[in-house]
């Protein structure tokens, strides 16, 4: 078993994203979850999971309970160790320094040496509510999202989604290295960048040439290979039913493979589409219908529920999340199959 340290405040959302890198994910306390198995390499790409630890066990949220757990555990490891303790969101009220000293002393009694700078092993004790998870650090996610802030990209437009949230949406589609992800309203290219960074093959479409050129510029700044980015209408995708490029709609062809594995898009918020002949409802409804035509799964975001429109387009709404961005904006995230 593994313990997961979740990020953010929405544990259900974080656990659902974690499921793309772990099996049997179950939230057990605020900010903490357990999993039966973990893909350590895939976990590195998660936005809303900080770490995974191979569990020694689960105990009550007290110093004595954590120490008793370590004393009773079978430990085959040797060498140097550092103990790190966390009171997740301040919900357990434990003295983390006291925890570190107590568990460190227990491990020294069992033959370990202490090395806080470059230990052979890191033991993590995470407390939340009435629960403590103790385990050996197995994997950490890469927290480099600040390097790709929308305002720091070559091309910026107000309203761009943060790279942290764009990465989470990409992960929620279930795509992995080599899979092709389509964003038919790609805007400045944030989801394309995050998809490319995890090894997926992104395809972007936008109605405005300005966005197409800007997304290409942004992708060049962060990706080794520039994705296919086309000008087009999300309600009439330049893709034939077999996911090859439809020559009647576009003269550009997709490289190294044709299949679209998943679609992700962030629908316009409270305004008309830049494609003037569409109302917002027609735009999103048409985009959902086209996404259903070319892909088996999708993640769709908006400032309102689009579940009814998704069902009308032939999708099954697997689950939805409401994520507050600020006082006047709640993002509705739809997972569609």
Asked if residues 61 and 130 have their Cβ atoms less than 8 Å apart, the reply is yes
pLDDT digits (tens, 9 = 90+) for 279-298: 999 999 999 999 999 999 99
Q: Model confidence at 188, in pLDDT bands (50, 70, 90)?
A: very high
DSSP of 191-213: HHHHHHHTT-EEEEEES-HHHHH
Instruction: Give the mean pLDDT of 237-242.
Output: 78
Asked if residues 79 and 121 have their Cβ atoms less than 8 Å apart, the reply is yes
CA nearest neighbour of 72 among 104, 100, 106 = 106
Asked if residues 2 and 35 have their Cβ atoms less than 8 Å apart, the reply is yes
Task: Give the helix/strand (H/E) hosting 308.
Answer: helix 307-312
CA–chain centroid gap for 233, Å, is 27
CA nearest neighbour of 184 among 320, 332, 300, 297 = 300
Q: What is the reported pTM?
A: 0.92
pLDDT digits (tens, 9 = 90+) for 18-63: 999 999 999 999 999 999 999 999 999 999 999 999 999 999 999 9
Instruction: Give the mean pLDDT of 121-139.
Output: 98
Give the integer Cα–Cα distance in Å for 264 and 295. Answer: 10
Give the integer Cα–Cα distance in Å for 184 and 206. Answer: 6
Could you give all domains of the chain from N- to C-terminal order, each with its CATH number? 2-140 (3.30.2130.30), 145-336 (3.40.50.150)
Confidence check: pLDDT of 244 > 70 = no
- Whole-number pLDDT of residue 272: 43
Give the integer Cα–Cα distance in Å for 310 and 324. Answer: 22
Q: Model confidence at 270, in pLDDT bands (50, 70, 90)?
A: confident
Strands 201-206 and 228-231: parallel
Asked if residues 79 and 114 have their Cβ atoms less than 8 Å apart, the reply is no
CA nearest neighbour of 260 among 335, 327, 195 = 195
The b/e string for 252-283 (b: 16+ C-beta within 10 A; e otherwise) is eebeeeeebbbbbbbbbeeeebebeebebeeb
Give the integer Cα–Cα distance in Å for 185 and 40. Answer: 32
């Amino acid at each position: 078993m593994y313990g997961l340290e979740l990020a953010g405040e929405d544990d259900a959302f974080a656990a659902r994203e974690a499921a793309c890198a772990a099996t049997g994910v179950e939230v057990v306390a605020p900010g903490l979850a357990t999993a039966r198995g973990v893909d350590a390499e895939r976990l590195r790409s998660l936005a809303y999971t900080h770490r995974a630890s191979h569990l020694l066990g689960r105990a009550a949220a007290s110093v004595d309970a954590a120490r008793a757990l370590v004393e009773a555990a079978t430990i085959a490891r040797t060498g140097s160790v550092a103990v790190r303790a966390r009171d997740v969101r301040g919900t357990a009220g434990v003295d983390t320094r006291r925890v570190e000293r107590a568990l460190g002393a227990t491990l020294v009694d069992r033959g370990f040496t202490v090395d806080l700078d470059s230990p052979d092993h890191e033991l993590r004790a995470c407390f939340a509510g009435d629960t403590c998870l103790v385990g050996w650090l197995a994997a950490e996610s890469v927290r480099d999202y600040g390097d790709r802030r929308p305002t720091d990209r070559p091309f910026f437009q107000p309203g761009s989604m943060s790279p942290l949230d764009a990465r989470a949406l990409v992960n929620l589609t279930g795509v992995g290295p080599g899979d092709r992800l389509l964003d038919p309203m790609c805007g400045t290219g944030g989801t394309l960048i995050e998809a490319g960074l995890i090894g997926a093959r992104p395809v972007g479409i936008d109605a405005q040439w300005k966005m197409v050129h800007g997304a290409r510029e942004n992708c060049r700044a962060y990706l080794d290979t520039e994705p296919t980015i086309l000008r087009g209408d999300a309600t009439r995708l330049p893709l034939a039913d077999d996911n090859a490029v439809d020559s009647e709609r576009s003269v550009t062809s997709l490289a190294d493979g044709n299949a679209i594995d998943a679609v992700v898009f962030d629908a316009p918020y409270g305004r008309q589409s830049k494609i003037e002949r569409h109302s917002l409802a027609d735009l999103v409804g048409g985009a959902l219908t086209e996404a259903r035509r070319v892909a088996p799964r999708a993640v769709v975001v908006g400032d309102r529920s689009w579940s009814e429109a998704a069902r009308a387009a032939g999708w099954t709404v697997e689950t939805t999340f409401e994520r507050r961005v600020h006082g006047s904006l709640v993002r509705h995230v739809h997972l569609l199959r």
